[in-house]
Structure 1
């Protein structure tokens, strides 16, 4: 059986990528112990599918098409910088959204329902749309990270248009994640 590690996502437009790249540069220079996301890998995950049998890929693509059927293109306003989980040592540094959240939740919910029918489990946690900027490693200086997140809040502002959804394959090359588009669906 051949498998593919994949996820359904929204790609981010160039102005937002530019802002996020600058933000990543500042975060990276102010605190170590975090595996920062490379600019070309930034995306908004709608549904992580995991390692799936390649036979399921066409069905995932069908579910993606059904989930966005009737959804018009919309804008997402990025705002806010933070870390998950709350109240515990952070594992993920993220940028959040002010607007565009409801259509993202709708698409996620439709994907979750239809993909469960083909054996991909529903998400356990509530969907919180965000863009992952980095993953915190053990031994990271959490006080410096917290200070950096606080001081850069005002710079985490941009927007982009969501006009397509993509199915991405996730592989590793020389230990770094690489994402390739398997299929895309226009809104």
Structure 2
């Protein structure tokens, strides 16, 4: 039975990423940057899904998201996961009133497929997977400066069911379904 590795998210672009990239590289931080065309935020990671279930998931998402207001998103602040002592992922924060409602509807759409609603939803844009940190103090200082930095504000109308193929060069994303919110 063939399966596809899927997630529900929004591919997007945000201004100011190039400046962050230049600064991080000056700080001698090594890692893998997310390719420009792969920058996204994730509503829900689904994992490996049987191909014959995909049309049902698409339909359920379309039904649940009908008439939902597209979220106005403010992209603000740089931070890391899991913490400053051991940073592994550099990301841009997201603030939005409406995004929680979109997430709730997505969780409802997935319940018939055995997915329980997630307790914690922390929308963010992953920029860099950190491999090596050369100047930890300077990096922390830069993050502190960028904690409230405003990157962008825009309406994110698309919710996509995306296939993620993992390759040695990084993931390849393919949009299987695109739903446009009101």
Instruction: State the TM-score bracket (shorter-chain normalisation).
Output: 0.7 to 0.9
Task: Check if 1:93 corresponds to 2:93.
Answer: no
Shift of the alpha carbon at 1:58?
Answer: 1.3
Give the count of matched residue pairs: 180
TM-score by length of 1: 0.82
Specify which of 100, 116, 139 is matched with residue 111 of structure 2.
116
Q: In the alignment, which residue of structure 1 is the partner of 2:98?
A: 103
Task: Check if 1:135 corresponds to 2:129.
Answer: yes
Q: Is the 8 A contact 2:72 2:98 kept in 1?
A: no
Once residues 148 and 74 of structure 1 are traced to their aligned partners in structure 2, the CA distance between those partners, rounded to angstroms, is 29
Q: Mind listing any 5+ residue stretches in structure 2 that lack a counterpart? A: none
Shift of the alpha carbon at 1:57?
Answer: 1.1
Give the SS at the match of 2:133: coil
Q: Kindly report the root-mean-square deviation, in angstroms, between the aligned alpha carbons of the 2 structures.
A: 2.3
Once residues 127 and 95 of structure 1 are traced to their aligned partners in structure 2, the CA distance between those partners, rounded to angstroms, is 15
Q: Is the 8 A contact 2:41 2:124 kept in 1?
A: yes
Q: In the alignment, which residue of structure 2 is the partner of 1:61?
A: 58
State which drifts further: 26-35 or 52-61: 26-35
Once residues 145 and 51 of structure 1 are traced to their aligned partners in structure 2, the CA distance between those partners, rounded to angstroms, is 36
TM-score by length of 2: 0.84
Which aligned segments of 4 or more residues in structure 1 are displaced greater than 4 angstroms?
A: 153-156
Give the SS at the match of 2:59: helix
Specify which of 175, 179, 182 is matched with residue 169 of structure 2.
175
Q: In the alignment, which residue of structure 1 is the partner of 2:3?
A: 3
Q: In the alignment, which residue of structure 2 is the partner of 1:161?
A: 155
Q: Which has the higher helix share?
A: 1
